[in-house]
């Protein structure tokens, strides 16, 4: 019997490297998500023409965010991977954000991480190591992606590695792992 990607360890054994399970690869217009009932990755939507995911997008296993799903991660790395690939990464920060759910504001943060094996981003240790232009483009992607679905998405704060680690800790506590 196989283990659900949701139930994999949050961290790589013997390290503080975060596990990230990829759902949607960099450059894809197709938003994919793991469906635990099917045990497969499912097409959840298609981005408008000209829009693509700027980096691989996935989740941190054995976490539960305020929205009831595993924590979302945008993973900076050198080339796209594939849905279902697990990658060791280091947290660099978080875009703390909210969007409405049933008319009420709901937190839906986006963790930012760098693949441990990345050559292109090996110098990035904290969100503040990213250029303001790149951060703006990442924020714009999330806002426009949600706007295309008719959902407002509001960035509350850009926070560094320490805050991201706190959010991961809280999210693992919610799952009891």
Establish if 176 belongs to a structural domain.
no
Report the predicted TM-score, pTM, of the whole model to 2 decimal places. 0.95
- As for how many domains the chain has, the answer is 1
Task: Please write the tens of the pLDDT for every residue from 64-99.
Answer: 998 899 999 999 999 999 999 999 999 999 999 999
Q: Kindly state whether residue 25 falls inside one of the protein's structural domains.
A: yes
Strand boundaries in the chain, DSSP class E: 18-24, 30-35, 40-46, 56-59, 72-76, 86-101, 104-107, 110-115, 154-160
The predicted-structure confidence for 113-144, as pLDDT tens digits, reads as follows 999 999 999 999 999 999 999 999 999 999 99
- Look at residue 134 and tell me if it is in a domain: yes
Q: Does the residue 177 lie in any domain?
A: no
**Distant-in-sequence contacts of 128-137, Cβ < 8 A, 24+ apart:** 128/93, 128/160, 129/92, 130/92, 137/54
The boundaries of the domain holding residue 153 are 5-171
Residue 52 domain-assigned (yes or no): yes
Q: What is the 3-state secondary structure (H, E, C) of 6-41?
A: HHCCCECCCCCCEEEEEEECCCCCEEEEEECCCCEE
CATH for 102: 3.90.80.10
Residue 100: predicted pLDDT: 86
């Amino acid at each position: 019997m196989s283990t659900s990607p949701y139930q994999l360890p949050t961290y790589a054994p013997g390290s503080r490297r975060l596990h990230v399970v990829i759902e949607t690869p960099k450059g894809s217009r197709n938003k994919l998500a793991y469906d635990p009932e099917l045990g497969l990755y499912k097409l959840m939507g298609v981005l408008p023409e000209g829009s693509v995911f700027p980096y691989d997008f996935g989740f941190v296993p054995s976490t539960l965010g305020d929205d009831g799903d595993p924590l979302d991660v945008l993973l900076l790395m050198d080339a796209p991977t594939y849905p279902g690939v697990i990658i060791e990464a280091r947290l660099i920060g978080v875009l703390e954000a909210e969007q409405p759910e049933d008319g009420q504001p709901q937190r839906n943060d986006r963790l930012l991480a760098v693949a441990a094996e990345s050559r292109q981003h090996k110098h990035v240790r904290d969100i503040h190591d990213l250029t303001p232009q790149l951060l703006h483009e990442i924020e714009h992607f999330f806002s426009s992606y949600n706007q295309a679905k008719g959902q407002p998405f509001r960035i509350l704060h850009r926070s560094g590695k320490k805050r991201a680690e706190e959010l991961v800790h809280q999210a693992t506590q919610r799952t009891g792992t």
